[in-house]
Amino acid sequence: MYRLPFGVPAFAAIPFPCLGSGLQDRPVLYYQLMEHKQLARFVPRFADARILVIGDLMLDHYLVGSVERISPEAPVPVVLVQDERDMPGGAANVAGFLRAFGAGVIPCGLVGEDAGAAMLLQHFARRGIACDGVIRCSERPTTMKTRVVAARQQVVRIDREDTRPLGPEILAEIRCTFDRVLESGVDGVILSDYGKGLLVPEIIEYVISCCREAGVRVAVDPKVEHFRAYRGVTLITPNNKEASEGIGVPIRDRASLERAGAAICEAIDPEILLVTRSEHGMALFERGRPLDEIPTRAQEVFDVTGAGDMVISVAMLALVAGASAREAALLANAAAGIEVSKFGCQAVSPDELLSALDA
């Protein structure tokens, strides 16, 4: 006797002779197969969404080469650079992921008056991403992460950033810019918090309050130090470590996962809590419903950079498209599985996601 997952309708327990002996006696597998195929109907609707992304805009810079010797000056590898590239990072990466699905995107954040800002804005222009919400600030550099990579392994990372508290004038300009974009009409708002200084509790609480008043969904990819400032969001997507540290409950097994999830829901009161758990898949908590564990799909993992950005991007697009919380989580899980199979932060196309759902 198979015990059906929470929410599986009774018809899923009926044998289906047309499927052959492989699936007719395994109703749970049949239900999961059909569930994934039915998710495909949401993907074309992603292009109808208009999403505001507010958070820490960054530029990811890559120096890619090979290592053949150790430096005579110090016990460090010598990397012979063969390729150099840059791409959007942080909140800018979220904007790029959303745009790859055809959605309208308006990033809101700070960049400097420097070469990094120029490159980032060029990326936005090439992708058709509006820059109306990007604020230029001569007092701070554009946040840039330079990764030196050899043989698909990161050798070292060099960060250029200024995380000092923002002054009242800049904070006022951020609020004003956010208000203007929100009033222009958006379907959802994503807070992309990398702890670089823009999303201080004052701004976080202001954004959530405005979204709730306007009836607009708001999702957050959280930072531990701001955890309790996210109260009232529609969706929050911490990873296992963030969930554990953010609420102070170590997650070691299903029982401790349930305790941590219940504590987060009580403290933050999100409509949906989606904990990403690496090889353990995802844990979905909804108001008034039991824990729903979503297993990961087997694949070769090359680089987990950007997986969290993909999860929140696709989950938000799915919710805007009319998906349930579980359907949004399954879509995000499938998209993240594709993203981690690529090197660096690379977008997933609608066709790639549809193919994964059909597999």
Question: Which positions are annotated as active-site residues?
Answer: 309
Backbone angles phi, psi at 222, to 5 degrees: -85, 165
Residues 232, 226: contact at Cβ < 8 Å?
no
Residue linked to tokens 């949906």: 272
Q: Between helices 115-127 and 91-100, what is the axis angle to 10°?
A: 20
**Alpha helices, DSSP H, located in 101-186:** 115-127, 168-183
Residues 30, 2: contact at Cβ < 8 Å?
no
Report CA torsion sign: 250, 253, 258, 264.
positive
**Closest by Cα among 311, 317, 303, 238 to 270:** 238
Cα–Cα distances (Å) from 290 to 186, 273, 285, in that order, read 31, 12, 7
Dihedral over alpha carbons 315, 318, 319, 321 (to 10 degrees): 160
HSE, side-chain direction, 13 A CA sphere, residue 352: 16
**DSSP class of 165:** P
Retrieve residue 187's tokens.
């379907």
Cα–Cα distances (Å) from 168 to 110, 174, 198, 202, 347, in that order, read 14, 10, 12, 11, 35
Residue length of the chain: 359
> Residue 272 burial (CB < 10 Å; 0-12/13-18/19+)?
buried
